[in-house]
Amino acid sequence: MTDRPPTTMIVHLKGDATEPMLSEGKTALICHVCNDIGAWGKGFVLAISRRWKAPEEHYRQWFRSDKPKLGEVRAIKVTDNIIVVNMTGTP
């Protein structure tokens, strides 16, 4: 029989995902799926845009210049310890 690593419990939290609880010195990644058609304006991105302008601005510039492809990922640092990760999927 082999030793197994300790199991990790899944903890469900309720609250504002744009205000992650961070331990001192830690960084939070706020990962979400955005579409590949240049549309930003429904769902969780609305909360992101209310809190920070950079992720939406970055997405729109990305779409104008490169046309994001499925599966591409871009990380935008919005504070010293929070990074928003735009992951491209299909609508």
3-state secondary structure the chain: CCCCCCCCCCCCCCCCCCCCCCCCCCCEEEEEEECCCCCCCCCHHHHHHHHCCHHHHHHHHHHHHCCCCCCCEEEEEEECCEEEEEEECCC
Q: Is residue 11 part of a domain?
A: no
Q: Is residue 39 part of a domain?
A: yes
The whole-number pLDDT of residue 1 equals 52
- Total domains present in the chain: 1
The whole-number pLDDT of residue 20 equals 92
Q: Is residue 45 part of a domain?
A: yes
The whole-number pLDDT of residue 17 equals 93
Q: Is residue 4 part of a domain?
A: no
Q: Is residue 67 part of a domain?
A: yes
pTM of the model: 0.82
Return averaged pLDDT per consecutive 10 residues of the chain, 91 residues in all.
71 89 92 91 94 96 88 96 93 69
The whole-number pLDDT of residue 2 equals 61
Q: Is residue 16 part of a domain?
A: no
Which CATH number covers residue 80? Answer: 3.40.220.10
Domain region containing 84: 28-88
The whole-number pLDDT of residue 52 equals 97
* CA nearest to 58, candidates 68, 50, 69: 68
